[in-house]
Structure 1
Amino acid sequence: MRFVSFEAEGKASYGIVTGKGIHDLGARIGSVVPDLKSYLKAAELGLVPAATAGLAADYAVGDIAYLPPVTEPGKVICVGLNYEGHRLETGRPKQTYPTLFARFADTLIGHNVAIRRPPVSEALDYEGELAVVIGRSGFRIPKEEAASFVAGYSCFNDASLRDFQNHTHQFMPGKNFPGTGAFGPDMVTPDEVGPLGDLKIETRLNGVVVQQAKLEELLFSIEELITYISIFTPLAPGDVLVTGTPGGVGFKRTPPLYMKPGDVVEVEIDKVGQLRNEIAEEQPKG
């Protein structure tokens, strides 16, 4: 099953993607369960009915504007250096534990929304990644139970301002500019995706493949990440784990390959979806 958050007719909502279009859950239960995060919380408590086949389509896919699948996650935790190709191209040593950093929820944008390049930098790089949405509350989760805490998967582009990222050894500044965390188009439940290992992740810039790997190449698996992260912070429905990018990033190429206004970047993951974003200059407020 695929869940989507969107705007239509001037209103934000969420729903289920069907073969005929979008089934609008917000229109039906939004007064009590207003968004996908609250839906996941209610589902954890058994307070929403299981979705069934034959759902009515309220909107055609072309009639909606995509929002991030989870519009206000409590936590967005990103993983660095989680593919061997990326670790080698950066020259970093092997890690005993996952390299983690946080992204702010207000940096997130949806499918077909422009990634914004700020006027303070031209070093805007792509990072195609698999995002994991948490569906149950948990703290210090055993590895053998971790898979049951996954509500679904999505595509993510952790667009990074490399100069700001490298001002110090802390990643945070380069990872938190407004409009740089592309997320979507939708959240796909694990039963629809199936085993992850043989699935391909690919990033394309202006139609040219710049990153490609299989998800089995993750150095720390989804289960290992959930177990480790939940040692130090409780996880809750709607939290998002962004699992790392393969080798091929732009700042390690000769010459560097950075995204610029007018470019189109796509992240595609087998059975999960295809996330597409153009690049645009950040517009001054006023």
Structure 2
Amino acid sequence: MRFLSYYADGGIHLGVETEGGVVDLTEADGTPASALELVAGGSAALDAVRRYLGTAPPTRALETLALASCVPDPGKIVCVGANYRRHSAEAGLPVPDNPIYFAKYRNSLSGHRQEVAIPPGTVRVDYEVELVAVIGSPARGVTPAAALDYVFGYATGNDLSAREHQTRTSQWMYGKISDGFAPLGPYLVTADEVPDPQNLDLRTWVNGELRQDASTSDMVFSVAMLVSDLSQVTTLEPGDVIFTGTPEGVILGMDEQVWLKPGDHIECEVLGLGRLSTTLVKG
């Protein structure tokens, strides 16, 4: 199933896409009212959604909705750097022996079709299409073989980056946490629709020009390895999201670096998970 979150009635509603349109779940009795309730509820929550859909509820047209991040309130936003072999090569980085982690925060989240402001004085803005894994049940000390059982679903993400801030020290976070710099969505797609997260195509377009075109098969550390590794030191909770890294094709790796600017339109897609659109504006 494909879930989304959108703004309505002064808050954020949870919806599910059907052939006839988007069905609101927040206003229905007996169904999860938010993305966090959905992922924490697991199979029972999904069964409740299926029962409700069987009643032929009213639908809304997707194009009329103002979408939020498909997971609006994660407890953790964990990101992984240099996790594609060819991206490491283009960035002049060695292939890491261990995952490189950094964090983003809730202020960085934005939704499909939202405008994102470039902070004043920031020039070297870059895109990064990413497969994002969403945790569905508490995970602590899990093995790689069992790790995917703890993933509720997946989404398309864009790890927008301010490169001059990212590289000013050895810690990348300052260039990653600007408001809106973690577009996520449009959909949260349940894991049963993604039988192999290591066999997905990823693409990015800037103003209609294809910039990234790769596969998750080029990951250094698989989704299962990342979930397992993180769970050794922290409990991953329902709703936590993991941005799993970007493939080659970013501006940072180009010989002629023309950075993103106000007015640019970025589309990121992970095949089967939806295309995520972001427009940059002046901050």
The TM-score with structure 1 as length reference comes to 0.93
What pairs with 1:49-88 in structure 2 (closer than 5 Å)?
49-52=47-50, 54=54, 55-88=56-89
User: Is 1:251 aligned to residue 252 of structure 2?
Assistant: yes
List runs of 5+ in structure 1 lacking aligned partners.
none
How far residue 213 of structure 1 moved from its aligned partner, in angstroms, is 0.7
**Deviation by residue 1:95-154 (Cα, 9 ceiling, x = unmatched):** 111111001111100000012211121111101111111111111111111111111111
Cα gap change, 1:50/1:34 in structure 2, threshold over 3 Å: closer, same or farther?
Answer: closer
Query: Structure 1 stretch 237-246 or stretch 143-152: which is displaced more?
Result: 143-152
What pairs with 1:167-206 in structure 2 (closer than 5 Å)?
167-206=168-207
SS state of the match for residue 58, structure 1? coil
8 Å Cα contact 1:198/1:214 also seen in 2: yes
The residue aligned with 1:95 is: 96
How far residue 10 of structure 1 moved from its aligned partner, in angstroms, is 4.3
**Deviation by residue 1:30-80 (Cα, 9 ceiling, x = unmatched):** 9x9541112222337x46744325452431111211000111100000000
SS state of the match for residue 66, structure 1? coil
How far residue 9 of structure 1 moved from its aligned partner, in angstroms, is 4.9
The runs of 4+ residues in structure 1 deviating greater than 4 Å are none
Structure 1 Cα separation of the partners of residues 58 and 147 of structure 2:
34
The residue aligned with 2:13 is: 13
The residue aligned with 2:35 is: 36
Structure 1 Cα separation of the partners of residues 253 and 274 of structure 2:
27
The residue aligned with 1:3 is: 3
How far residue 161 of structure 1 moved from its aligned partner, in angstroms, is 0.5
The residue aligned with 1:135 is: 136
Structure 2 Cα separation of the partners of residues 121 and 181 of structure 1:
16
**Deviation by residue 1:241-275 (Cα, 9 ceiling, x = unmatched):** 00000111112212212111111100011111100
8 Å Cα contact 1:112/1:275 also seen in 2: yes
Cα gap change, 1:64/1:123 in structure 2, threshold over 3 Å: closer, same or farther?
Answer: same
Letter in 2 for 1:138: A
Structure 1 Cα separation of the partners of residues 121 and 29 of structure 2:
43
Structure 2 Cα separation of the partners of residues 84 and 67 of structure 1:
32
List runs of 5+ in structure 2 lacking aligned partners.
none
Cα gap change, 1:48/1:155 in structure 2, threshold over 3 Å: closer, same or farther?
Answer: closer
8 Å Cα contact 1:117/1:261 also seen in 2: yes
The two structures, once aligned, show a CA RMSD in angstroms of 1.7
SS state of the match for residue 26, structure 1? coil
8 Å Cα contact 2:5/2:70 also seen in 1: yes
**Deviation by residue 1:1-37 (Cα, 9 ceiling, x = unmatched):** 011110135442002111111111111149x954111
SS state of the match for residue 203, structure 1? strand
Structure 2 Cα separation of the partners of residues 29 and 207 of structure 1:
42
SS state of the match for residue 204, structure 2? strand
8 Å Cα contact 1:251/1:257 also seen in 2: no
Structure 2 Cα separation of the partners of residues 11 and 20 of structure 1:
24
8 Å Cα contact 1:79/1:100 also seen in 2: yes
The residue aligned with 2:25 is: 25
8 Å Cα contact 2:86/2:218 also seen in 1: no
Cα gap change, 1:29/1:166 in structure 2, threshold over 3 Å: closer, same or farther?
Answer: farther
SS state of the match for residue 123, structure 2? coil
The residue aligned with 2:217 is: 216
SS state of the match for residue 163, structure 1? helix
Structure 2 Cα separation of the partners of residues 266 and 28 of structure 1:
32
8 Å Cα contact 1:7/1:64 also seen in 2: yes
Cα gap change, 1:2/1:57 in structure 2, threshold over 3 Å: closer, same or farther?
Answer: farther
Cα gap change, 1:87/1:49 in structure 2, threshold over 3 Å: closer, same or farther?
Answer: same
Q: How many residues of Structure 1 are paired with residues of Structure 2 in the alignment?
A: 280
Structure 2 Cα separation of the partners of residues 178 and 237 of structure 1:
23
8 Å Cα contact 1:127/1:157 also seen in 2: yes
